[in-house]
Chain A
Amino acid sequence: MNKSKKKITADILSYFILISGSLMMIVPFLWMISTSLKTADATFVLPPKFIPDHITLNNYKNVINSFPILRFLFNSIFVSVTITLGQLLICSMAAYVFARIDFKGRNALFLIYLGTLMIPSQATLTPQYILMNHFGWVNTYKALILPGMFSAFGTFLMRQYFLTIPKSLEEAAFIDGASHLKVFFRIIMPLSKPGLATLTITSFMESWNSFLWPLIITSDDKHITLPLALTRMQGRWHTDYNSLMAGTLITVIPILIVYLLAQKQFIKGITMTGIKG
Chain B
Amino acid sequence: MVGDKGIKKILIICLFLLPSLIGLIVFKGIPIIWSLILSFTKWDLIGSPRWIGLGNYKNIILDKDFWGALAHTLYFILGYLPLVIIFALLTALLLNRKIKGITAFRAIYFVPVISSWVAVSMIWRWLYNSQYGLINYLLSLIGITGPAWLQDPHYAMPAIIMTSVWKDTGFLMIMFLAGLQNISEDYYEAAEIDGASGIKKFFSITLPLLGPTTFFVLIISIINSFQVFDQIWVMTQTEPTAAYTQVLVTQIYNYGFKYYKMGYASALSWVLFLLIFVFTLIQNKLQKRWVNYE
Contacts and interface: CB of A to CB of B under 8 A. Distances in A.
Q: Do A and B bind each other?
A: yes
Interface string B82-119: 00000100110011010100000111111111111111
A22 B105 contact: yes
A150 B118 contact: no
Interface string B26-66: 11111110110010000001000000000000000000000
A74 interface: no
B23 interface: yes
B20 interface: yes
B272 interface: yes
A67 interface: no
B182 to A, nearest CB: 11
Contacts of B45: 130, 133
Interface string A96-122: 110001010000010001001011111
Contact of B34 (A11, A127, A231): A127
A231 B118 contact: yes
A274 interface: yes
Contact of B126 (A32, A256, A266, A274): A32
A31 B110 contact: no
B76 interface: no
B116 A251 contact: yes
B277 interface: yes
Contacts of B90: 17
B100 to A, nearest CB: 9
Contacts of A230: 118-119, 122
A141 B20 CA distance: 19
A123 B35 contact: yes
Nearest to B105: A18
Nearest to B216: A274
Main secondary structure of the interface of A (DSSP, over half): helix
B194 to A, nearest CB: 16
Interface in B228-252: 229-230, 233-234, 238, 249, 252
Nearest to A260: B107
A229 to B, nearest CB: 9
Contacts of B95: 18
Interface in B256-294: 256-257, 262, 265-266, 269-270, 272-273, 276-277
Nearest to A26: B108
Contact of A93 (B17, B26, B229): B17
A21 B91 contact: yes
A255 B111 CA distance: 10
A209 interface: yes
Contacts of A126: 35, 38, 256, 262, 265-266, 269
Given A31-B126, A255-B115, A25 B109 contact: yes
Contacts of B272: 120, 122-123
Contact of A113 (B24, B114, B229, B238): B24
Contact of A91 (B20, B87, B249): B20
Contacts of B30: 127, 131
B126 A245 contact: yes
Interface in B129-145: 129, 131-132, 134, 137
A172 interface: no
B207 interface: no
A184 to B, nearest CB: 8
Interface stretch (A40-48, A163-171, A189-197): A40-48
A48 B134 contact: yes
B114 A93 contact: no
B81 interface: no
B151 interface: no
Given A17-B90, A97-B16, A211-B230, A25 B23 contact: no
A209 B121 CA distance: 12
A35 B126 contact: yes
Contacts of A35: 126
A147 B27 contact: yes
Contact of B115 (A21, A27, A149, A252): A252
Q: Which among A46, A48, A122, A256 has the highest number of chain B CB atoms within 10 Å?
A: A122
17 contacts: A22-B108, A29-B123, A32-B123, A90-B19, A90-B23, A97-B13, A119-B32, A120-B273, A126-B38, A150-B28, A211-B229, A212-B253, A227-B116, A251-B116, A256-B115, A271-B174, A271-B177
10 A-B pairs with the lowest CB-CB distances in the bound complex, closest first: A150-B23, A94-B20, A127-B34, A124-B31, A209-B116, A227-B118, A127-B31, A93-B16, A147-B27, A123-B269
Given A130-B262, A230-B122, 8 more contacts: A28-B123, A29-B123, A94-B17, A120-B269, A122-B249, A122-B269, A126-B266, A263-B107
